[in-house]
Amino acid sequence: MKTLKKSFISLFIILTILLLCSCKNSNKIRVGILQYTTINALDNAKEGIIEGLKENGFIEGENIVISVLNPEADPNSLDIMAKDLVRKSDIVIGIATPAAVALQTAAKNEGKNIPIVFTAVTDPVDAKLVKDINAPEANITGTSDMNPVNEQIEIIKRIIPNIKKMGILYTVNETNSKVQADIAAAKAKELGIDVSFGQVTGINDITQITRNIITNGAEALYIPTDNNLAKNMPALVEVANSLNVITIVGEAGMCSNGGLITLGINYKELGKMTGDMAASILKGSKISSLAVKALSIEQCDFTINMTTAKALKIEIPKDILDVSKLIETGE
pLDDT of res. 331: 47
Within 120-174, residue ranges assigned H as helices are 149-159
b/e map 44-54, b = 16+ CB within 10 Å: bbbebbbbbbb
**pLDDT tens digits for 57-98?**
999 999 999 999 999 999 999 999 999 999 999 999 999 999
Please state the separation of Cα 134 from the chain's center in Å: 21
pLDDT of res. 211: 97
CB atoms within 10 A of CB 82: 28
pLDDT of res. 202: 87
Domains recognised in the chain with CATH numbers: 28-145+267-296 (3.40.50.2300), 149-264+299-327 (3.40.50.2300)
Of the CA atoms within 13 Å of residue 218, those in its CB half-sphere come to: 29
**What whole-number distance in Å separates Cα of residue 144 and Cα of residue 118?**
8
Which positions of the chain have pLDDT values less than 50? 2, 4, 6, 20, 22-24, 331
Single out the residue of 25, 63, 73, 68 nearest to residue 47, CA to CA: 68
Single out the residue of 267, 265, 260 nearest to residue 237, CA to CA: 260
Query: Is the sign of the CA dihedral 127, 131, 137, 141 positive or negative?
Result: positive
Query: Is the sign of the CA dihedral 42, 228, 219, 260 positive or negative?
Result: positive
In this prediction the pTM is: 0.85
Please state the separation of Cα 122 from the chain's center in Å: 9
**pLDDT tens digits for 163-216?**
999 999 999 999 899 999 999 999 999 999 999 999 999 889 999 999 999 999
144: enclosing H helix or E strand: strand 140-144
**What whole-number distance in Å separates Cα of residue 95 and Cα of residue 99?**
6
DSSP 280-318: HHHTT--GGGS--EE--GGGEEEEEEHHHHHHHTPPPPH
